Every structure is written in C-alpha cells, then in structure tokens.
Amino acid sequence: MTRTDYDDFLYRIRELHDLHQIDGWLQWDQQVTMPAGGSGDRAAQMATLSGLIHERLTDPRLGELLDRLADAPGLDDAQAANVRETRRDRDRAVRVPPALVQAFARAKALAFDVWQAARPADDFRSFAPHLEELVRMAREMAAHIGYAHEPYDALLDEFEPGMSAAAVQAVFQPLGTELRGILDGLEGAPEPRTDFLTRTYDPARQQTFCRALIADLGYDLERGRLDESAHPFTIGNGDDVRITVRYNPRFLPSALFAAIHEAGHALYEQGLDPAHRRTPMGNAVSLGVHESQSRLWENMIGRSPEFWAHYFPRLQALFPDELADVSAAEFVRAVNVVRPSLVRVEADEVTYALHILVRFDIERALVNGAVGPDGLPELWRERMRHYLGIAPADDRDGVLQDIHWAIGSFGYFPTYALGNLYAAQLREAMLREIPDLVAQVGRGLFQKPLEWLRERVHRPGRLHPAPELIRRATGAPPDASHFIRYIRTKYGALYNQAL
C-alpha cells in the first residue's frame, strides 16, 4: 500500500493529540497527586512538552501537507474537517513570532504571581502595570493572527471559533436587558430558607452520593475517575476522562453540583465519536459548547424539581438527621436561590450571565484600546451597578477577583454565558423531541437526553463551528431568547411571581 498524504498527515495529528493528552495527565497529576516539592521539576517538564508541541505543529512538512490536502480530491467531510481544523491551529501558532510567545509566557507568569499577592491585599495599583503589559502583548498577538473587525475577535477565536465580538454583542445585548428586568421582578419576593445547606455533611457520605449520581447520568467510571482537588475540573478525552470535586463539609451544594457540572463536561468527552479518536474530529468543538454540556446537566436537569423528586429521598436517607426538617420543594428552592452578589463564581443562574456581561464589556474595551488599566476599578463598579445594581467597595471583590486576565486569557469569559444560552436552546429542542423528558428525569432515567446529546452535539466533534452545530441541533442559530424563556418559566414558578 502506498503511503498517501492523508496517512502522513494522520500520523502527525495523532502524535500531536497524544502530546496534548500527556500534557493533560501532567496537569492532572499536579493537581491531584503530586507532592508539593515536585512543582519545579513539573514546570520544566511541561515547558519541554509545550516546546515539543509547538515544534511539531509549526513543522514546515506539516504546512506542505496541509497545502496539498487543502485541494486534494476524495477527502470525506470528516477528513476535510481534520485538515481545516489543523490548519486553523497551525496558522495561529505560526503567525505569532516565537519571541513574542516566550515574552508573553514570562509576562503571564510574573503577572500571575503579582495578582496572587495583590488580590488579598486589595492592591490594584501593583497589578495594573502587569495587566497593561499583558494587554499590549495580546493586542500585538491579535495583530499577527489577524482579524476581520477588531483585535478582540482574534483572541475570542481561540476559545469560540466562528464567533466574533459583534456576534457576541448581538446575543448579549437583549440578554442583559431581559435579565435585569427579571431581577427587578424578583425584588421583594419572599426569600427561601437556606439554613440547612450549611449544616455539617460528612464528606465520605457526600462522595458516595456523588459517585452514584454521576454513574446514573451515564458517566462511565470504567473510563473515568472521580478524585479531589482544590478546584473542580475535567480532563482527558475518549476512554480516559477524569473529574475532580472538593467536598466542603459545611456547604452541601458545593460538591453535589460540581460533580454534576464536571460529569456534564466528561459525558461530552466520553461521547465523542470513537471512529475519530486522536484527531480534531474526536475533540470538543469550543469552550462554549463544552460549557453548554456542564450547565445543561448541572442547572437545567440537576437543579430541577423533577430531578430532586427522585433524588431528594435518597439524599435524605444518607443524611437523615441533617435533612430531617427539610422537604424536597424547600431543597429545590434553596439550591436555586437568586441573590445579586459581588463574586462571579458564587453567582446563581439568573445573575451569572450578568457577571459575564460586566467582564465582556471591560475586556473588549481593554483589548480594543478604548480604556487603559487605570480606569478599570471605576469602570468595574459602573458596569456592576448597571447590570447587577450593586458594586464592590474594594477591588478584591471587584476588578481583581478573577484569575483570567492575570494569566492573559482575554476572550475567554463570553464562553461561559454562551454555554448557558446554547444549553437552554438545546434543552428546548430536546423537550420538543423527547415529550416525556421531565417524567424520565423524575424517575432518575437519563438515557434519552444523553443519547440525544450524543447524536446532536457529541459525535459531530469539530465537523461544524459552534454556531452551525447549534443551528443543526436545534433548527435555529444561537440567540438568547431560549435562555430568557427558560429563566422566566423556572424562576416565575419557584418564586411564585409573574416574570
């Protein structure tokens, strides 16, 4: 058999995939099992590996292969998608000069260290020059990568290919207006009781419950693991997809919903088409779609009354004293409490997207050069008051609260809110096509929704960019109306208010 260009290409992209997976296992080990003393050596190992990945991706031989394959006859859709996606990754890698990549890596490491000290000290002034430097470099990278309308597009494209700042803005604009109206509608509604969430819950029993729950959802523990780490995460692809959570004995929802959230991510990775393993087609299409899977399972299924109709008696059996005076309805209201707060990671489903709008407005202005770091603390307060009606007194819970800008990730935030919007749109389509979905969830049966997601979202891999994937799965391009409808209906019922 003659060795074709595509075979040669396949060999190279599989090698690249393996190197990325190995990098993932080094990260998993670092966060789950590695002794603290190993961090210096580990940083060196990871730097070596990313150098190797960069070298392989920018190899001129791969470039020649991609050129020839671009107009090669006889490639099927999946093969053409592998060529297109590899071309995209490679273009991003070759366009930015190596000296800039290295300078950015050094600046990020330094900025992260400064941010770690600046946040608890509420000291934005020490962080500002580092942020300014990162923004300058990010703009320079955007100029090298190229963009259609504004520098922010080039950065967003790394996380949500196929989306532009203008397209995000078009979706976010009505979202902000509607959510603010819903918040106003909830003002003055009686507060649900939440006292029982902060009683003491034995971590070992929490773990037992989480493990059984994620197995019910369809997460395959023969091809996965559940461990503990400081921050929950999911890592891996195909036949080895691992998740972590953290058990807080004094706040029951923490691990419970983190487990469902991470299982949602893991179901996506486990559900990618095995026929395309170790190629772009066997990988997730975007961070927004990834987040749609975690949010759909965590919030739309996992925080629904029907879900807890089935699971609350089981949870109560595991914690008979702690939950003796609590009903399933009270539990559902408690885990869906809406309360505008200063901190994004603690936000509820209604206010979460508003936190993202604050960040999107600010980072877009930063990257496009409309504001400098000096004006940020005040701009942050102004945007918070605009969207959430509250503002932090300090910068610790203001402009310093997130890690993203400190590690140079500009353009990442929108993917969180896009995930919510995609999830609601997928849920609506699913409800149309699985009329007994609510009844199924109410019996702890998740086969039908999982199979629906497998077919429409997981197995297509990177065949189409996210907006097109959503359009094909739901019959309409992404927009905010589905999410707004979902929020109005759910919270109108929970709070007994006309929203």
254 vs 294 by CB, closer to Zn ion: 294
- Of 184-192, 294-302, 337-345, 370-378, which part binds Zn ion (CB under 5 A)? 294-302
| Through-space distance between the first and last CA atoms of the chain, rounded to whole angstroms | 66
286 vs 294 by CB, closer to Zn ion: 294
- Of 47-55, 287-295, 378-386, 474-482, which part binds Zn ion (CB under 5 A)? 287-295
Contact 269, 234 (CB under 8 A): yes
279 vs 292 by CB, closer to Zn ion: 292
- Of 98-106, 292-300, 314-322, 397-405, which part binds Zn ion (CB under 5 A)? 292-300
* Polymer length of the chain: 499
Write the burial class of residue 147 (CB in 10 Å: 0-12 exposed, 13-18 middle, 19+ buried).
middle
Cβ at position 416, least distance to Zn ion in Å: 8
Cβ at position 147, least distance to Zn ion in Å: 27
Catalytically active residues are 262
Amino acid at residue number 207: Q
Helices 165-186 and 151-159, axial angle in degrees (round to 10): 80
96 vs 258 by CB, closer to Zn ion: 258
83 vs 289 by CB, closer to Zn ion: 289
294 vs 474 by CB, closer to Zn ion: 294
Cβ at position 17, least distance to Zn ion in Å: 22
> For the chain, what is the HEC assignment?
CCCCHHHHHHHHHHHHHHHHHHHHHHHHHHHHCCCHHHHHHHHHHHHHHHHHHHHHHHCHHHHHHHHHHHCCCCCCHHHHHHHHHHHHHHHHHHHCCHHHHHHHHHHHHHHHHHHHHHHHHCCHHHHHHHHHHHHHHHHHHHHHHCCCCCHHHHHHHHHCCCCCHHHHHHHHHHHHHHHHHHHHHHCCCCCCCCHHHHCCCCHHHHHHHHHHHHHHHCCCHHHEEEEECCCCEEEEECCEEEEEECCCCCCCHHHHHHHHHHHHHHHHHHHCCHHHCCCHHHCCCCHHHHHHHHHHHHHHHCCCHHHHHHHHHHHHHHCCCCCCCCCHHHHHHHCCCCCCCCCHHHCCHHHHHHHHHHHHHHHHHHHCCCCCHHHHHHHHHHHHHHHHCCCCCCCCCCCCCCCCHHHCCCCCCHHHHHHHHHHHHHHHHHHHHCCCHHHHHHCCCCHHHHHHHHHHHHCCCCCCCHHHHHHHHHCCCCCCHHHHHHHHHHHHHHHCCCC
Between CA 52 and CA 44 the distance in angstroms is 12
Number of residues that bind Zn ion (CB under 5 A): 1
294 vs 420 by CB, closer to Zn ion: 294
- Of 91-99, 289-297, 366-374, 393-401, which part binds Zn ion (CB under 5 A)? 289-297
- Of 24-32, 156-164, 224-232, 286-294, which part binds Zn ion (CB under 5 A)? 286-294
Cβ at position 272, least distance to Zn ion in Å: 17
Cβ at position 293, least distance to Zn ion in Å: 9
Nearest residue (beta carbon) to Zn ion: 294
Cβ at position 28, least distance to Zn ion in Å: 16
Q: Is 299 in the site for Zn ion (CB under 5 A)?
A: no
- Of 20-28, 293-301, 337-345, 440-448, which part binds Zn ion (CB under 5 A)? 293-301
Cβ at position 261, least distance to Zn ion in Å: 6
Binding mask 313-352 for Zn ion (x = CB under 5 A): ----------------------------------------
Q: Is 286 in the site for Zn ion (CB under 5 A)?
A: no
Cβ at position 161, least distance to Zn ion in Å: 18
206 vs 294 by CB, closer to Zn ion: 294
Q: Is 294 in the site for Zn ion (CB under 5 A)?
A: yes
Site residues, Zn ion (CB under 5 A): 294
